């Protein structure tokens, strides 16, 4: 550590980022203090964080980072603060830049260019480059807003925006595929306290075209089938989801309540006015039977077992009786043969043959 520079605390808010949290925290090794506030991860994130951070603090899970940043800031001990999200990583140039500024600060708020990797790719022709985000400041110079995507409220006019050409940047491993983008968009736009996309009037079709044109207009390659166009459409999709949720709110729509109403109407029609089929129960609401007790279930099982045993025993007795009858019939038939005239006529030759064998 350079003793001549001012000290800095770094914090990261994490949730289920085991794949990248190690890389994120290694880039903060220059900080005098590294704090991870983990939002009750269910993977290996806390264990990996503990290898790199001075403190790992567990807090309840919540959908976004905004509501936790003020808490994380309060845990920091030093005057200067660096913070990144758990899917962000400072470039080596950014780490060197921050250390140089700590030795001779030129501002109180530093806004760094962020290199977004959407669908696993960063493309400088896309709409997102170079967006700048505050990631380094003097304590008290900014205030964190709890409103989703409301950003950071500056409390100082001493702001330095770092040029994109310097190599100083924040690598943002944001969305690996379209599914992750949509999941995150749905989660963020479901927060009541969020920054909502501006709109004028009820023309949803016009709004959709305008948002697509807006994000395509920020790209430097509008080839219809290219990557910049694809991620511009993704960005417009976020705005469309947000606008449609506002549209629901404006009309007071409650789909769950409407579904319950439809089901109630269908149930009433089926039970009240629909003609009953032959043998079908016609009561609209069948009686609700109480669930049988454990004792009743056991008694029923024993009755069933006894009935099956009795049936098996009856079948066995019937089989034995039939077998005995068949045996008796066979014996009677044998006696009849032995008593017949033919059998007696055959007795003399058998005796003669027996004597001949004995004389040999």
The pairs formed by 64-68 with CB atoms below 8 angstroms and a separation of 24 or more are 64/148, 64/187, 64/188, 64/191, 65/13, 66/144, 66/145, 66/146, 66/147, 66/148, 66/149, 66/150, 67/146, 68/13, 68/37, 68/39
The pLDDT assigned to 220 comes to 93
The pLDDT assigned to 1 comes to 47
Query: Domain limits of the chain?
Result: 8-175, 196-251, 297-355
Positions of the chain with pLDDT lower than 50, given as ranges: 1, 274, 276, 278, 281-286
Does residue 193 contact residue 145 with C-beta atoms inside 8 Å? no
Q: What architecture (CATH level 2) is domain 8-175?
A: Alpha-Beta Complex (3.90)
Instruction: Please measure the distance between the N-terminal and C-terminal CA atoms of the chain and give it in whole angstroms.
Output: 126
Q: Six-digit token pair at 89?
A: 């990583």
Q: Six-digit token pair at 37?
A: 């506030």
Looking up tokens 């697509």, which residue turns up? 212
- How large is the C-alpha radius of gyration of the chain? 42
Report the SS3 class of residue 118: strand
pLDDT one-digit tens code per residue, 245-287: 999 988 898 898 999 999 999 989 887 554 545 455 444 444 5
What count of other Cβ atoms lies within 10 Å of the Cβ of residue 4? Answer: 8
pLDDT one-digit tens code per residue, 156-170: 999 999 999 999 999
Cα distance between residue 348 and residue 338, in whole Å: 14
Phi, psi torsion values for 138, nearest 5 degrees: -85, 140
Spatial CB neighbours of 98, under 8 Å, sequence gap ≥ 6: 8, 30, 82, 90, 110, 136
Cα distance between residue 148 and residue 157, in whole Å: 23
CB burial of 173-201 (b: ≥16 within 10 Å; e: otherwise) equals bbbeeeeebeeebeebbebeebeebebee
**Measured CA distances, 113 to 116, 164, 228 (Å):** 10, 6, 18
Q: What angle do CA 92, 97, 21 make, to 5 degrees?
A: 40
With CA atoms as reference, report the closest residue to 81 among 152, 20, 131. Answer: 152
Cα distance between residue 351 and residue 360, in whole Å: 15
Does residue 86 contact residue 13 with C-beta atoms inside 8 Å? yes
């Amino acid at each position: 550590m350079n003793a001549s520079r001012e000290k800095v605390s770094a914090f990261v808010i994490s949730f289920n980022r085991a794949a990248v949290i190690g890389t994120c925290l290694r880039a903060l090794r220059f900080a005098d203090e590294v704090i991870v506030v983990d939002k009750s991860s269910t993977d290996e994130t806390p264990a990996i964080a503990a290898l790199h951070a001075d403190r790992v603090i567990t807090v309840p899970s919540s959908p976004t980072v905004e509501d936790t940043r003020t808490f994380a800031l309060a845990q920091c001990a030093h005057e200067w603060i660096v913070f990144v999200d758990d899917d962000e990583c400072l470039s080596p140039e950014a780490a060197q830049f921050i250390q140089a500024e700590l030795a001779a600060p030129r501002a109180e708020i530093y806004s760094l260019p962020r290199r977004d990797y959407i669908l696993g790719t960063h493309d400088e022709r896309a709409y997102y480059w170079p967006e700048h985000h505050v990631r380094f400041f003097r304590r008290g110079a900014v205030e964190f807003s709890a409103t989703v995507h409301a950003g950071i409220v500056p409390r100082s006019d001493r702001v330095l925006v770092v040029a994109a050409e310097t190599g100083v940047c924040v690598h943002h491993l944001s969305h690996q595929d379209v599914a992750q983008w949509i999941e995150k968009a749905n989660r963020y736009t479901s927060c009541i306290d969020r920054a909502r996309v501006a709109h004028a009037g009820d023309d949803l079709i016009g709004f959709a075209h305008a948002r697509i044109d807006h994000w395509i207009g920020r790209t430097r390659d509008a080839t219809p089938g290219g990557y910049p166009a694809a991620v511009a459409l993704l960005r417009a999709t976020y705005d469309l989801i947000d606008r449609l949720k506002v549209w629901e709110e404006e009309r007071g729509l409650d789909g769950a309540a409407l579904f319950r109403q439809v089901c109630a109407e269908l149930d009433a029609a089926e039970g009240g006015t629909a003609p009953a089929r032959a043998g079908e129960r016609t009561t609209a609401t069948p009686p609700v039977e109480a669930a049988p007790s454990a004792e009743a279930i056991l008694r029923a099982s024993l009755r069933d077992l006894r009935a099956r045993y009795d049936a098996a025993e009856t079948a066995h007795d019937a089989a034995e009786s039939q077998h005995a009858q068949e045996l008796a019939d066979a014996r009677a038939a044998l006696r009849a043969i032995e008593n017949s005239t033919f059998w007696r006529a055959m007795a003399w030759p058998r005796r003669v043959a027996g004597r001949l064998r004995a004389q040999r």
